[in-house]
Chains A and B, each alone.
Chain A
């Protein structure tokens, strides 16, 4: 028998799946398109699985060197995440455990910088990069991505660190631990789940970062976002190939996100459901 509570559950489940489908539809459609021929891809009447082939993937790999772009993406996203963590951990530690009157304001100010469109600082950053020889270098992109992600990293770490009981760190201090030991032996192990989810989010955000990749790199240091953009050519868009390229670009991060969804959800909903 269907009770009001089971029908309510059923309705919610259906609603959940519908929303998920709407959100995932572009990605699903992109994967499907990547398996079609160019003619089918632009057909007015959508086709599902008529001539499934991996030809587009082969063509994309021949046309542009996927692995080189992918390697740049790996170096830049993991490198910038590492750098952001190295800078963010001491900053968040100080803000969480040694707050001053200005800590809250500083945190809000840092976050407010994320509200400014990146293009607002394009000219000075570009000129800086040009004069320091950082244009089209992985180091340059890594630096700018790390600084871009830093406010988010500090905010997340700050929230996670606030959950660590202050007394545990004080006990460490009484046991003879200096600040470095305190962070390394106590704070980091105790907030490892938070650090992992912060890192995952940072990797995903920097992997998907397109603005600086497209403006500061051309070939040598170009990551996968530039790889996708390179499929938009003056001759027009090749939807099937573009879809194949996009699928290849997001596949690694999609797998990473899927494998670590538990950590990610905890990280993203942190504070809200504490």
Chain B
């Protein structure tokens, strides 16, 4: 197993820069998830690590060894593709043993390794089938099996679950997490699904427009997003944002006014802030309580019932649309006028440039 070091890694196509100088260390035996919206460069970054895309500048080191110019075939990494990319003319067993055959491993050893991977992934009854005779989930398991048999230094996953239906995705997610624990492998996993990132990752790397926005454990990112982008991207439903103006600052706390004139007191030190500064106030749906009392007036737009809990979408008097999580038993009707109280211990403040005010 291995560590992966990225130093000022850049990638350009003609004059367009896709990856803009990324510094990152993927630790040994860690499951690191690259997450970000479509087009943020996460798959390109993974393919650069894999050796399928050339590195324009910067250094890529695996276990300390510079591999910029080492071809994909010689990096000793395994990649599980979004489209599975199985060899359609080979059986499951042949798919899994292809790399070993290329490496000149003897037949008996090849078969033993394939059987071992098949056992882990419950693929034993399917070994003689061709990919076209398999379901989506089975194909994905074969693709993972193909990676396992090689005992790669690092496992790379490029949105491997996005072609599966919702139920299967949840199951495969759990299986992959279990597999990571069993294999004690270094894994880099790319997804645009922040739920996958939160549930699977040891550490998450949030990317946007070819730049790393934040690196941290799922809960670090959830509790202390470094900027507005991370705050909005991590968490489902997303964090609510309200625009406010600072009206008073003291050593014990501060007061802010929303656009409709509502005043909110926050017990946060805000040394860098002055009176009159415009800030963005972030609060997660579970940290707003809904009732007859509260500082913010709002009207209910929509109630989404999920069973154990419901998400209420509201229009605040200040104009912003907010989401509040309530118990599934709550009786709230659309068009109802309500009051919202913010749990100020969980307020996130962002300055005019979108950076967190700590």
Contacts and interface: CB of A to CB of B under 8 A. Distances in A.
Interface string A149-174: 00000000000000001011011111
Interface string A165-206: 101101111111110010001100110000000000000000
A165 B77 contact: no
Contact of A165 (B50, B51, B85): B85
A190 B52 contact: no
A174 B87 contact: no
B253 to A, nearest CB: 55
B99 interface: yes
A168 B79 CA distance: 11
Contacts of A190: 88-89
A172 B83 contact: no
A176 B85 contact: no
B83 A174 contact: no
Interface residues of B, number: 23
Contact of A175 (B71, B89, B150): B150
Interface in B84-139: 85-89, 98-99, 102-103
Given A173-B73, A174-B77, A176-B103, A168 B88 contact: yes
A222 B51 CA distance: 52
Nearest to B150: A175
B81 A170 contact: yes
Contacts of B86: 168, 171
Contact of B73 (A165, A168, A176, A185): A176
Contacts of B146: 171, 175
Contacts of B239: none
Contacts of A174: 50-52, 72-73, 77-79
Contacts of A176: 73-74, 99, 102-103
A146 B322 CA distance: 71
B180 to A, nearest CB: 19
Interface in B59-83: 71-74, 77-79, 81, 83
B351 to A, nearest CB: 43
Contacts of A181: 102
Interface in B259-283: none
A170 B79 CA distance: 9
Interface in B29-66: 50-52
A170 B85 CA distance: 8
Contacts of A171: 79, 81, 85-87, 146
Question: Counting chain A CB atoms within 10 Å of each CB, which of B86, B87, B99, B150 scores highest?
Answer: B87
A177 B102 contact: yes
Contacts of B73: 173-178
B48 to A, nearest CB: 13
Q: Is the interface of A mostly helix, strand, loop or mixed?
A: helix
A181 B99 CA distance: 11
B83 A175 contact: no
A168 B81 CA distance: 9
A191 B52 CA distance: 22
Nearest to B143: A171
A186 to B, nearest CB: 6
Contacts of B103: 176
Interface in B212-234: none
A176 B70 CA distance: 12
B212 to A, nearest CB: 25
B87 A168 contact: yes
A274 B23 CA distance: 44
Nearest to B98: A175
B7 to A, nearest CB: 23
Nearest to B72: A173
A190 to B, nearest CB: 6
B27 to A, nearest CB: 22
Given A165-B83, A190-B89, A173 B102 contact: no
Contacts of B78: 174
A173 B50 CA distance: 10
A32 B99 CA distance: 60
B234 to A, nearest CB: 29
A186 B89 CA distance: 8
Contacts of A186: 87
A182 to B, nearest CB: 9
A174 B78 CA distance: 6
B121 to A, nearest CB: 17
A96 to B, nearest CB: 16
Contacts of A175: 73, 98-99, 102, 146, 150
B99 A167 contact: no
A176 B100 CA distance: 9
B148 to A, nearest CB: 12
Interface centre among A173, A177, A190 (most CB of B within 10 A): A173
User: Most chain-A CB neighbours within 10 Å: which of B85, B86, B88, B103?
Assistant: B85
A209 to B, nearest CB: 34
Contacts of B74: 176
Contacts of B88: 168, 190
23 contacts: A167-B81, A167-B83, A168-B86, A170-B72, A170-B85, A171-B79, A171-B146, A172-B98, A173-B51, A173-B52, A173-B71, A173-B73, A174-B51, A174-B52, A174-B73, A174-B77, A175-B98, A176-B99, A177-B73, A177-B102, A178-B73, A185-B98, A190-B88
Given A173-B51, A174-B52, 7 more contacts: A170-B81, A170-B85, A171-B146, A175-B102, A175-B150, A176-B103, A177-B102
Closest 6 CB pairs of A and B: A175-B99, A167-B85, A171-B85, A176-B102, A173-B72, A189-B89
